[in-house]
Structure 1
C-alpha cells in the first residue's frame, strides 16, 4: 500500500528521490517525469501538482543526478535506455501493475519512450510539450527564432551578430549570451509567472549541473520510430506561444500515435502548468478519468 512522503529508492544502482502525495485517493498512481535534461519537480509540486493530488495519487520522481537524487558514480551513466529502465524499476518498486505517466518537456519525450518500451506498465499518459529528440533540426530552428523574437536592446544585437558553423552550436551560443529577462520571455508568456518561477527555483536551492545534458548530447539521437508503437492513450499538451517546441511537432506526433488527442493552451508558452494551472489540471484529471 502506498504511503505519502518522500524517500530515496535504489533504481539502476543509483539512489533516487521519490515523493508520494494523495495516496489516500487510491487511484492508479500518476508518475510525474520532469524535464531539463537535468531539472527537478520543485515548481511543478507547487503548481499543477498540488491540485492533481486532490484527486489522484501522484508520484514524483527525480531522475539520476537531478534535483534531490544522487548522481551515478560514472558521470557518463546517462542515456535514454538507462532513464527508461529507471522508470520501469520505479513502477516495480511501487508494487502496482500499471501507472499513468505525466511528462513535461524533455520528460514528455522520456515518458513516450517508457510507454513504448514497457507498454504493459503504462495505462495512460500525458506529454506536455514533449522533446523527443534533442538533436531535432526543426526544434533547434524554432528555439533560435524564439530567442531572436524575445531578445531586446543589446542582447538582441549580440544574438544577431552571433554566427556558428551549425544551428546546434548557434543555439548553445545563444544560451550563453542571453540574460535572465530574455530567458523568461522565451519560456513564459506571463511575466508574473516567470517571476514566480524564478522565486521558486531560488527557494529550492536545487541546481541543474548540466551533466545529464552533456552526456545526452554525446548520445546518438534515437530514431523514435518506436513512438508509433505506443499503445496507451496519449494526451498531448502545449502552449500557443511555446518557443521551445513547435506546435507542428505535436500535431505530427498526434497523427503518428494510435490514440492521441491534443489540447492547446491559448495563454501559455512552455509551461501551461504554471500559466494556466486550473485549466491544465482539469484537462489532465478528465483525461485520466
Structure 2
C-alpha cells in the first residue's frame, strides 16, 4: 500500500503504470484523476488545477496503459475500454483503497462513467469535465460545426471541399481534423488564445506524445451497447462541468449525459471552451471542491 506523496511505477496487469499521489496528509477519500485523449496524459493538469485540488483533497493521478509515462502493452490492440476499466480497478485494489471519487476530463469523463457502471461499489462521487461520448454521431457533427465557427478563409475553403465529398460522416470528420493545423486546433479548443499558448507550451515541455494507438484500437472494438444507452444505470452523485463555447464535446453531449444520470447536476462555464480547468481554473477548483465536501 502506498500512502506517501510522490511518483511511482505500479505494475498493473503486467504493465508498468505511472502514478502520482498528492495531498496524502489531507486523508480524504482519494480523488482519482482520469485523463482524456484517448491516449493523453496528466502533465498539464498536474501543473494547473491539480495542485490546487490537492490543497484540500488526496489526489491520485495515473496514466493509462500506453499513455504518458506508463508502459505500452505488448499488442497495439490491447486498449479496449474493458481493459482500461480493469486497470483502474486493479490500481485501486493494489493501493488498498475501498472507495474513491473520480474526476475524468474529456474522454476521461467517458471512461469514468464506464468505471462506475462496471465497479459501482468502489466509486463514491463522479466529476465530469467536458465529457465525451465518442461513439455518437452527434460528436462528429458538433466538431465539424465547431470548426466552421473558428476557421479562417483558407481553412474553410479546404473544409468545404471535404464536406462536399460523398463520404460517411465519420470519414468527413477524420479528414477535417487532418487539415487542421495547430493554430486552428488552438482556436477550436480554447476561447482565450493566451491560455491556449500556455497549454501548448506545457505540451511541448512535457516531451510526451500521443501515439494514437489507443484511439485506433478503441474504434476497432467499441463498447456494445454504446455508453449512451447504459447511462441511466448510473446512480452516483455526479457533477458535470462544461464550457458553453466547447466545440469539441459541447453542451449538447453534457446535456445528454445529465438527462440520463438521475443524480447529476450541470455547471456551465461562461468563458470556457473545452478546458474549463484552464480557462476558468479558480471556478473549476472551487466548484469541484464544494461538490466533493
Structure 1: give runs of 5+ residues left out of the alignment: none
Structure 1 runs (4+) greater than 3 angstroms displaced: none
**SS in structure 1 of the partner of residue 25 of structure 2:** helix
Distance between the aligned counterparts of 2:142 and 2:223, measured in 1? Answer: 18
- What TM-score, normalized to structure 2? 0.96
* Structure-1 residue corresponding to 2:260: 256
Quote the Cα distance in structure 2 between the aligned partners of 1:8 and 1:109: 25
| 2:273 counterpart SS class | coil
- Judge conservation of contact 1:155–1:179 (CA < 8 Å) in 2: no
For 2:213, the equivalent position in structure 1 comes to: 211
Helix, strand or coil: the match of 2:21? Answer: strand
Aligned residue for 2:189?
187
2:174 is equivalent to residue 169 of structure 1? no
1:273 aligns with 2:277: yes
Summarize deviations over 1:83-106 as a string: whole Å, max 9, x none: 011111111112111000000000
1:113–1:226 Cα contact (<8 Å) kept: no
Alpha-carbon distance in 2 for matches of 1:88, 1:226: 20
Distance in 1 separating the partners of 2:242 and 2:94:
31
Tell me, which stretches of 5 or more residues in structure 2 are unaligned? none
- Number of aligned pairs? 288
CA contact (8 A) 1:4 1:23 kept: yes
1:136 aligns with 2:136: yes
Deviation at 1:164, TM superposition (A): 5.3
Q: Residue 251 of structure 2 corresponds to which residue in structure 1?
A: 247
Distance in 2 separating the partners of 1:254 and 1:153: 36
Matched residues in 2 for 1:100 and 1:217: separation?
28
Residue 12 (structure 2) aligns with: 11
Query: Secondary structure at 1:20's aligned position in 2?
Result: strand
Indicate conservation of the 8 Å contact 2:132/2:253, yes or no.
no
Q: Is the 8 A contact 2:80 2:222 kept in 1?
A: no
- Secondary structure of the residue aligned to 2:61 is strand
Q: Distance in 2 between matches of 1:44 and 1:116?
A: 25
Deviation at 1:221, TM superposition (A): 4.3
With normalisation by structure 1, the TM-score equals: 0.97
Contact 2:33 2:102 in 1 (8 A): yes
In 1: Cα distance, 2:12 partner to 2:271 partner: 38
> Does 2:233 match 1:232?
no
Query: Is the CA contact 1:109–1:130 (under 8 Å) kept in the aligned structure 2?
Result: yes
